[in-house]
Chain A
Amino acid sequence: SQKIEQNSEALNIQEGKTATLTCNYTNYSPAYLQWYRQDPGRGPVFLLLIRENEKEKRKERLKVTFDTTLKQSLFHITASQPADSATYLCALPLWSGNTPLVFGKGTRLSVIA
């Protein structure tokens, strides 16, 4: 089955800088990868999805990359703002085919004004 590592539990960054969060997986290469945002005590909210044949996906100040050779996805927030402070989770399918998602433990991002 799939194992996911989000290599930073917490990341502090200054307002205006670009935050880069990492998601590594260990086993088979998934057909897609999803990123979610979670605020304290609330449910995760979907942000972006990237498929295996896509190198990069963008949505406003967010960018996701997917490198199947490195078995890694990077999640970037450009021009970060204090409102971006939250925990960010990556999620992959447990195995190929119809399968539940497995989530990483998340990276808690703090953007300091």
Chain B
Amino acid sequence: EAQVTQNPRYLITVTGKKLTVTCSQNMNHEYMSWYRQDPGLGLRQIYYSMNVEVTDKGDVPEGYKVSRKEKRNFPLILESPSPNQTSLYFCASSLGYPSGANVLTFGAGSRLTVL
């Protein structure tokens, strides 16, 4: 089944403890992206990647890192999480840049709580 898989789905952690949220897609998609979703603020893009070793900042990149060493994986790294990073995170992918031909496939989401 074509899908985007995120792990963990739920995580409670403490301030400053480094964590990684993994994202993997099995559709051979070039484009991958991370979003966070907060009440009243909607979906905001954190980082995106058009290809292996190519990443770009989105709207809210502060406090996050990403890497794209393989086409299928796009992990989100929080080096020193803070409570304001408590959020629902989504990974998404598409064949190419979103366009009139390419649409996003989203993962199921990762709910992160930072105490």
Contact = CB atoms under 8 A, between A and B. Distances in A.
A105 B90 CA distance: 15
Contacts of B40: 105
B108 A49 contact: no
Interface residues of A, number: 24
A34 B98 contact: yes
A23 interface: no
B107 interface: yes
Given A98-B97, A103-B42, A42 B33 contact: no
Contacts, number: 60
Contacts of A31: 99-100
Given A93-B98, A105-B42, A43 B58 contact: no
Interface string B41-64: 111010010100000001000000
Nearest to A9: B40
B95 interface: no
B109 A49 contact: no
Task: Decide if the interface of chain A is mainly helix, strand, loop or mixed.
Answer: strand
A45 B92 CA distance: 10
A100 B48 contact: yes
Given A103-B42, A105-B41, A105-B42, A49 B106 contact: no
A51 B58 CA distance: 24
A43 B100 contact: no
Interface residues of B, number: 26
B109 A100 contact: no
A32 B99 contact: yes
A43 B109 CA distance: 6
B106 A43 contact: yes
Given A34-B103, A100-B45, A43 B98 contact: no
Nearest to B107: A43
Q: Which of B48, B105, B106, B107 has the most CB of A within 10 A?
A: B106
Contact of A46 (B90, B100, B105): B105
B104 interface: yes
Listed from nearest, the 3 A-B pairs whose CB atoms lie closest are A43-B106, A105-B42, A32-B100
